[in-house]
Amino acid sequence: MTTDDEIESNGAGDDGTTGQPPEPVFTLDSSRGFTEWLVSQNASLAFTTYQVGKLFFIGADREGKQWVFNRNVGRCLGMAVSSDSNSLWVTSDVQVHRFENALLADQKTAEGYDAVYVPQAAFYTGDLDIHDVALSDKGQPLFVNTLFNCIATVSLTHSFIPVWQPGFISRMAAEDRCHLNGLALVDGEPGFVTAVSDSDTFDGWRDHRDDGGIVIDVRTNEIVCRGLSMPHSPRWHDGKLWLHNSGTGEFGTVDTESGTFEPVCFCPGYLRGLTFTGGHAVMGLSKPRNNKTFSGLALDDALSERKIEPRCGLYVVDLDGGDIVHSLTMSGIVSELYDVAVISGVRQPVAFGPNSAELKTTISIGDRPA
């Protein structure tokens, strides 16, 4: 396994210090055939963990062995990859970062890297508790501004520009009233969002974690599904709306006509992060925190009934039958993930962090205007 920043070993960290912990601080365990499956997709996976402020890549090297790489980005949550896999957007605590692939098409480095993502722009937003981010059909970054209960976009002159807000939110206030968190695009434009409740009171969503979760159709401002438990990661795929009913550990679809959630499978963890490739869904699992936000949910009882401990990692689900066909589980200091994305056509990506020393000598030149 190859990583940056030595998260899994006793090596030096970003500050140059070294230590000798008694056991590895981070380990990965993939199911048999996981890497071969990823190779068959001609893709790699990226995921974020705000818990340790890192962006991870999972892929395969030139010999077909599992490739793992990480970079420090800060408190990263939402992530989006452009359709050509050349642009990578990642949110952090006070910024929205844009990374660009510095390699030409079909170019590889001497080490075998087939994408090198370099930070080229950063929009300073302040701490908005940004969750999901997505790219419109025009390439515009749209993000869920959870603190202000709205969908927003970046600005060259302001912290953010509001794009849409639920109809039940009475005013623009930094109060996280409904805990808006997820965004699904439909035909390249905002289609659906998830929220933990329809509260219009400061922090009011916390009283409705069990069954107050909703899905809103952005285009009509109508609530099309109720009764969910802390829903996350809505995605429009193959003509269906998919999402996580995170408080119950269920992945499934929403029938927007009848307003019902149809579970596809149960996963042993708090679900966040969802992407698709080749007839499969890839989703992130986190271990529930023992605090007032994550404790006491139906997920706790479901895990107890199945006599299974919560997991942290990635699960791959066959959309035809709902079977879990592959997994990548983690242990150690990483126990919570937020988002996951497929990087199509890229098998062994790397990235430079916003504070990487390599940025001093990594220079690209754009085309001269005609």
Q: Give the pLDDT of residue 9.
A: 32
User: Is 20 inside a domain boundary?
Assistant: no
User: Is 6 inside a domain boundary?
Assistant: no
Q: Over the chain, what HEC string results? A: CCCCCCCCCCCCCCCCCCCCCCCCCEEEEECCCHHHHHHHCCEEEEEEECCCCEEEEEEECCCCCEEEEEEECCCCCCEEECCCCCEEEEECCCEEEEEEECCCCCCCCCCCCCEEEEEEEEEECCCCCEEEEEECCCCCEEEEECCCCEEEECCCCCCCEEEECCCCCCCCCCCCCCCEEEEEEECCEEEEEEECCCCCCCCHHHHHCCCCEEEEECCCCEEEEEEECCEEEEEEECCEEEEEECCCCEEEEEECCCCEEEEEEECCCEEEEEEEECCEEEEEEECCCCCCCCCCCHHHHHHHHCCCCCCCEEEEEECCCCCEEEEEEEEECCCCCCCEEEEECCCCEEECCCCCHHHHCCCCCCCCCC
Q: Give the pLDDT of residue 7.
A: 55
User: Is 107 inside a domain boundary?
Assistant: yes
User: Is 246 inside a domain boundary?
Assistant: yes
How far from the centroid of its chain's Cα atoms is residue 47's Cα?
6
How many domains, the chain? 1
User: Is 21 inside a domain boundary?
Assistant: no
Residue 252, domain extent: 26-357
- The pTM of the full predicted model, rounded to 2 decimals, is 0.91
Q: Give the pLDDT of residue 144.
A: 98
User: Is 124 inside a domain boundary?
Assistant: yes
Q: Give the pLDDT of residue 367.
A: 87
Is 85 in contact with 345 (CB distance < 8 Å)? yes
Structure tokens given for 30: 């993939």
Q: Give the pLDDT of residue 21.
A: 52
User: Is 70 inside a domain boundary?
Assistant: yes
* CATH number of the domain encompassing residue 134: 2.120.10.30
Q: Give the pLDDT of residue 366.
A: 87
Which region holds residue 63: left if phi is over 0, alpha if psi is between -120 and 50, else beta? alpha
Q: Give the pLDDT of residue 293.
A: 74
User: Is 366 inside a domain boundary?
Assistant: no
Is 128 in contact with 148 (CB distance < 8 Å)? yes
Q: What is the pLDDT of residues 288-315, one digit of tens each?
A: 877 667 778 999 999 999 999 999 999 9
Give 10-residue mean pLDDT values along the chain (370 residues): 43 41 78 96 97 96 95 95 97 96 92 96 97 96 98 98 98 98 98 98 96 98 98 97 98 96 97 97 91 81 95 97 96 95 97 89 86
Q: Give the pLDDT of residue 12.
A: 30
Longest dimension (CA), the chain: 67
